[in-house]
Amino acid sequence: MSILKVENLKAYYIATLYGIKRSVRAVDNVSLDIEENEIFGIAGESGCGKSTLLKVIVGLIKPPLSLIGGMVLYNSGKDYISPFLLSLEEFNKIRWSFISYIPQGSMNVLNPTRKINRTFWDVIKTHGSEEEKKNLKTITEEHIKALGLPLEVLNSYPHQLSGGMRQRVTMALATILKPKIIVADEPTTALDVVVQRGVLQLLERIQEIYQNTLIIVTHDMAVHANIAHRIAIMYAGKIVEVGKTRDIFKNPKHPYTKYLINSLPKIGDKSIRESAPGAPPSLLNPPSGCRFHPRCPKVMDICKLEVPKLAEIDSGHSVACFLFTKEVEEV
Amino acid sequence: MKNNNKLLVVSDLTKVFIIGGRFLGVKLVAVNRESFDMEEEKPEIFTIAGESGCGKTTLARMILGIIEPTSGKIFYKGKDITKIQSKEDRLDFMREVQPIFQNPFETFNPLKRVESYLIETAINFGAVKNRSEAFDRIEEVLQLVGLSIKEVEKRYPHELSGGQLQRVSIARALITNPSLLVADEPVSMVDASIKMSVVNLFKDLKEKYGVSVIYITHDLATAYYISDRIAIMYRGNIVELGPVEKVMLNPLHPYTKLLIEAVPEPDPDLKWKEEIKLSAMEAKEFAKLGCKFSERCLEAKERCHEITPEKIFVDDRWVMCHKYK
Amino acid sequence: MFVILKDLFKYDKRFAFGFSVILILLFLSILSFFSPYNPVLWSLVPKNLPPSLKHILGTNSMGQDIFWNITHAIKNSILLGSLTAVISITIGTFVGLVAGYRGGSVDRALMSINDSFIVLPSLPILILLSTMLKERLTIAVIAVILSLFSWPWGGRQVRAIVLSLREREFTYTAFFSGMGTLKTVLKEHLPFVIPWVMANFINTILWAIGMETTLAIFGLSSLETPTIGTTIYWANQYQALLRGIWWWILTPVIIAVFLFLSLYLLSVSISEFLDPRTRLQRMRMEEVST
């Protein structure tokens, strides 16, 4: 059963400066179905729109970002709700308890003058149910124990913790009310590999314990390989391929995904890796048709004119490429 | 002297930063009495790898002469570069050793056209006599990195992609025909789909043109891919140094082991199995006696906390660990 | 240049307002050259006349036409402000650039001179100086004295900008391209400093005119020379407000308010337009539209 549906989503950054108006088409007609109890990875290079997609999913649409069209729906179990249609009050109710967003560089959100357990209690007091408010101490301790973190961190100030532990504490904080969906934007970027491994372990553990959905955005394919169940590959504002992690890594279909996977270096393997030719396009003025066509070695005439539609070619494996499908996206 | 036929000799190099005022400041030993050398006859890609704050960038900047060492010496082709005073000597040194920086969008002034740096380099180092000759030389180096002057001419940095800019940056460094490039995280900000083309470029430069490269990185996968030798740094010390196959496929130092263990494999079949343990509290390892890694080391014995280990030559590489004594 | 002015005028209301007011004031100051009266002489017209067709802004108790007098005052005030700005910005920018880029002992020496000027209490010393020089005060002398107190602020700020630029990677690229200190500072750093210089230029004009007005009100300026400040001084001296000669005191006050407001708006909008970040954004946008 899908817990989150994204339908034909379009979100552009619109800026006006001394009379020139420009829109950056960061998310351009994206549809996704994210299942309950899975780790869903969104991969792509910097500037491909993956972080913007995440922001729209959690309803954080502030100028210059504006929603052009499409819908995001959460499945609350009883019915579908959309973050776009909720009032701020209603939305605040479901934040933390239903959907939790861990932004990039979030280890700095901890208040340096408050002990960690205070911060946890604040969140429970503002967003928790009556039941949870009564037991805030035990809930916090049990949560920390369940995640395998040492209890003494609760009694420390943020600066006493190591950088990696701070990052893990923010993950614990985001999941204290056991949200159905956790959304993490580049949770391990700028972390050292050893710490990165600790954070990823923790995220996996949280998902295993609470059986919820984890959406993780990162450019690092090796992270996806280690943690994601399914992966969506984004290129220039569009999703070009979605599939199970194994399928994406072992049997990539889209020429862009192929380049991405085959160019990854591995320790113990010195064979030559080749990059895709050219460079990703500017989203101010993306190429016509398939956005990868100027770099694609298998480009055909149709690729320059029509936009390929993301279509299922194998069970659970969808590709937006005319090599595999004849379906054209309607604009 | 022992410096014959050496391209670069780093000997007992130390850099101490004082953070927070001259009198009340805290001493931070960024690089602690480190030494290594590179051969002149045999060009190589020498990687210095480690986590953030291990001192790798400080080491690179000392080699480039951007920051002054607290003590120790750096010899380039037998000349002590820490003693360079005159402008001519400085230019001579820069003709031989050139940097590649991390962020291609910051390498060039965003308000200036990129070609201006190419022209400046060509003219200032006397590689050419006039502007038209400069353009010939620029075309030559741009072709080396897979670009042409048409793609670069009259362009501002924001009009080029990160990958293109990093190529221009390499081309600029090549104008003077240097023997050594010092590249500080040159691909960490380059898009994934073009990263390897830049990495391959370094490989080509070494193999075809005999340019040696000091490659500073935290990315161990690319380090394995291009380097001949690797030095693993931890808190100001090189804890293991040797041929990349030896160090990375069969690491001896516990820290190297931990580091390589933590690198995620880009292959769903090779997922991590067991969990690793991490320290929870902020460690004050800079001020620590003995081996700086001992607090985190699973194999630490009593002496590790008290005595700084010496460097020992085992199985083709240097290791700084009591275990192998 | 013209296109930029047009764009700014069209899309930035602050600029449009400020620029129009300044144009009007400049026009008025140019009119002073066609003035039928010598501004220094008294009793040229009947005293204390309210505004009329013959004397649009009336006349004052000294027998001067207020309209023609104020054109001289505007000219002299703007001249004084600009002169002060040119002197102090030139010194400040130069000192800041050198101190920031060279660092070390050069920086320490220049900054200690700089800071000595900053810690001097400017108003008491200005009052002292003007009292001492009272007989010899001219617009140029006042401008020099005011510059003495305004350049160090600029020097500090330019130094701070250059210090941060010096650590940017492109400065190292310039260094390894064999560019010397002077070239690096002029070619690499100045483009970042200029927007600030422009804004600060206007701010200094503003400050200088304000300072001169303050001094004049205390009677410590070149009182024969009409400026906005001295006009207010004379109006006060003759108790214009109490005696109901409101047109005499109101004219310089309104002019001063509009002058300050428009200079302020101009400085804000120009510094925003020239800010390297906005400039880059604009370059990016134009690239797509062509």
Closest-CA distance, C11 to chain B, in angstroms, reads 23
Contact A193 B52 (CB under 8 A): no
Would you state the pLDDT for residue C113?
92
Each residue's pLDDT tens digit, C108-143: 999 999 999 888 888 888 888 888 887 788 889 889
Average pLDDT, chain A: 90
Q: Does C284 touch chain B (CB under 8 A)?
A: yes
Residue A80 has pLDDT above 60, yes or no: yes
Contact A266 B266 (CB under 8 A): yes
Whole-number percent of chain B with pLDDT over 70: 94
Residue B283 has pLDDT above 80, yes or no: no
Q: Identity (one letter) of the amino acid at A16?
A: T
Q: Does B274 touch chain A (CB under 8 A)?
A: no
Would you state the pLDDT for residue A117?
92
Would you state the pLDDT for residue A30?
94
Q: Does B298 touch chain A (CB under 8 A)?
A: no
- The interface predicted TM-score (ipTM) is 0.89
Contact in structure between B258 and B276 (CB atoms under 8 Å): yes
Whole-number percent of chain A with pLDDT over 90: 56
Task: Please provide the DSSP assignment of A94-162 as one string.
Answer: HBTTTEEEE-TTGGGGS-TTS-HHHHHHHHHHHHS-HHHHHTHHHHHHHHHHHTT--GGGGGS-GGGB-
The residue of chain A with its CA nearest to that of C6 is: A18
Closest-CA distance, C3 to chain A, in angstroms, reads 11
Contact C284 B158 (CB under 8 A): yes
Contact B264 A220 (CB under 8 A): yes
β-pairing, B79-80 vs B97-100, is unpaired
Task: Please provide the DSSP assignment of B96-146 as one string.
Answer: HEEEE-S-HHHHS-TTS-THHHHHHHHHHTTS-SSHHHHHHHHHHHHHHTT
Contact in structure between A153 and A145 (CB atoms under 8 Å): no
List CB contacts of A207: < 8 A, sequence separation 6 or more: A37, A39, A182, A213, A214
Q: Which residue has the higher pLDDT, A15 or C284?
A: A15
Closest-CA distance, C153 to chain B, in angstroms, reads 24
Nearest to B262 by CA among B248, B276, B281: B276
Contact A280 B161 (CB under 8 A): yes
Task: Please provide the DSSP assignment of chain C as one string.
Answer: -HHHHHHHHHH-HHHHHHHHHHHHHHHHHHHGGG-SS-TT---SS-TTPPS-SSSTT-B-TTS-BHHHHHHHHHHHHHHHHHHHHHHHHHHHHHHHHHHHHH-HHHHHHHHHHHHHHHHS-HHHHHHHHHHHTGGG--HHHHHHHHHHHHHHHHHHHHHHHHHHHHTSHHHHHHHHTT--HHHIIIIIIHHHHHHHHHHHHHHHHHHHHHHHHHHHHTT-S-TTS--HHHHHHHHHHTTTTTTT-HHHHHHHHHHHHHHHHHHHHHHHHHHHHH-HHHHHHHHHHHHHH-
How would you class B66 by CB atoms within 10 Å of its CB: exposed for 0-12, middle for 13-18, buried for 19 or more?
A: middle
Residue B96 has pLDDT above 80, yes or no: yes
Helix/strand/coil percent split, chain B, to 5 = 40, 25, 40
Each residue's pLDDT tens digit, B58-79: 999 999 999 999 999 999 999 9
Mutate to test the interface with C, among A16, A20, A24, A284 (most CBs of C within 10 A): A20
Highest mean pLDDT among A40-44, A143-147, B85-89: A40-44
Distance separating alpha carbons of residues B19 and B256, to the nearest angstrom: 29
Nearest to C229 by CA among C125, C118, C114, C146: C146
Nearest to A28 by CA among A310, A236, A215, A185: A236
Q: Identity (one letter) of the amino acid at B11?
A: S
Residues of A in contact with B258 (CB under 8 A): 194
Nearest to B172 by CA among C172, C162, C184: C172
Q: Does B197 touch chain A (CB under 8 A)?
A: yes
Each residue's pLDDT tens digit, A154-186: 999 988 888 788 888 998 999 999 999 999 999
Residues facing B74 on adjacent strands: B10
Long-range contacts of C29-37 (CB under 8 A, 24+ apart): C29/C71, C29/C72, C29/C74, C29/C75, C29/C78, C30/C75, C31/C68, C31/C71, C32/C68, C32/C71, C32/C72, C32/C74, C32/C75, C35/C68, C35/C71, C35/C72, C36/C65, C36/C68, C37/C64, C37/C65, C37/C68, C37/C69
Average pLDDT, chain B: 89
Selecting from C177, C180, C287 the residue whose C-beta is nearest the C-beta of B172 gives C177
Low-confidence ranges of chain C (pLDDT < 70): 1, 285-290
Would you state the pLDDT for residue C222?
82
Distance separating alpha carbons of residues B155 and B153, to the nearest angstrom: 5
Residues of C in contact with A284 (CB under 8 A): 284-285, 288
Q: Give the confidence band of B160 by pLDDT, cuts at 50, 70, 90.
A: confident
Distance separating alpha carbons of residues B193 and A45, to the nearest angstrom: 7
Using DSSP, state whether A264 is helix, strand or coil: coil
Q: Does C54 touch chain B (CB under 8 A)?
A: no
Contact in structure between A191 and A163 (CB atoms under 8 Å): yes
Query: Quick one: which H or E segment has residue B162?
Result: helix B162-174
Contact in structure between B309 and B302 (CB atoms under 8 Å): no
How would you class C112 by CB atoms within 10 Å of its CB: exposed for 0-12, middle for 13-18, buried for 19 or more?
A: exposed
Selecting from B91, B109, B173 the residue whose C-beta is nearest the C-beta of C178 gives B91
- Counting as contact any 3 or more CB pairs under 8 A, the partners of C are A, B
Would you state the pLDDT for residue C67?
92
Distance separating alpha carbons of residues B174 and B117, to the nearest angstrom: 12
Contact in structure between C187 and C128 (CB atoms under 8 Å): no
Contact in structure between B32 and B234 (CB atoms under 8 Å): no
C6 φ, ψ (degrees, to nearest 5): -65, -45
Distance separating alpha carbons of residues B99 and B113, to the nearest angstrom: 19
A15 φ, ψ (degrees, to nearest 5): -130, 140
Selecting from A197, A246, A279 the residue whose C-beta is nearest the C-beta of B164 gives A279
Token reading at C195: 């927007």
Residue B1 has pLDDT above 70, yes or no: no
Q: Does C27 touch chain B (CB under 8 A)?
A: no
List CB contacts of B67: < 8 A, sequence separation 6 or more: B15, B58, B61
| Residue in the structure block whose two tokens are 């064999």 | C178
Contact A225 B264 (CB under 8 A): yes
Would you state the pLDDT for residue C2?
73
How would you class A331 by CB atoms within 10 Å of its CB: exposed for 0-12, middle for 13-18, buried for 19 or more?
A: exposed
Contact A219 B192 (CB under 8 A): yes
Distance separating alpha carbons of residues B300 and C256, to the nearest angstrom: 77
Would you state the pLDDT for residue B117?
94
The four Cα atoms A130, A135, A139, A142 give a dihedral, to 10 degrees, of -150
The residue of chain A with its CA nearest to that of B272 is: A226
List CB contacts of A190: < 8 A, sequence separation 6 or more: A105
Closest-CA distance, A225 to chain B, in angstroms, reads 5
Would you state the pLDDT for residue C288?
54
Would you state the pLDDT for residue C290?
43
A270-289 burial, b if ≥16 CB within 10 A, otherwise e?
A: eeebebbebbbbbbbebeeb
Would you state the pLDDT for residue B28?
83
Distance separating alpha carbons of residues B298 and B267, to the nearest angstrom: 28
* CA distance readout (Å), B271 to A104, A168, A245, B280: 24, 20, 12, 24
What is Dmax (Cα atoms) for chain A?
A: 65
* CA distance readout (Å), B191 to A276, B219, B289, C36: 11, 14, 41, 72
Q: ∠ at Cα B30 (B94, C184), nearest 5°? A: 35
Contact in structure between A45 and A280 (CB atoms under 8 Å): yes
Using left for φ > 0, alpha for ψ between -120 and 50, and beta otherwise, residue A218 falls in: beta
Closest-CA distance, B303 to chain A, in angstroms, reads 25
Distance separating alpha carbons of residues A183 and B164, to the nearest angstrom: 33
Selecting from A19, A282, A285 the residue whose C-beta is nearest the C-beta of C7 gives A19
Q: ∠ at Cα A238 (A12, A329), nearest 5°? A: 100
Distance separating alpha carbons of residues A35 and B4, to the nearest angstrom: 66
Would you state the pLDDT for residue A257?
95
The average pLDDT across B128-140 equals 89
Q: Does C187 touch chain B (CB under 8 A)?
A: yes
Q: Give the confidence band of B3 by pLDDT, cuts at 50, 70, 90.
A: low
List CB contacts of C276: < 8 A, sequence separation 6 or more: B110, B111, C191, C192, C195
The average pLDDT across A11-29 equals 84
Token reading at A70: 């499409």
| Residue in the structure block whose two tokens are 């990059």 | A275
Mutate to test the interface with B, among C170, C172, C278 (most CBs of B within 10 A): C170
Query: Quick one: which H or E segment has residue A45?
Result: none
* CA distance readout (Å), B149 to B118, B139, B142: 11, 6, 7
Closest-CA distance, C74 to chain B, in angstroms, reads 38
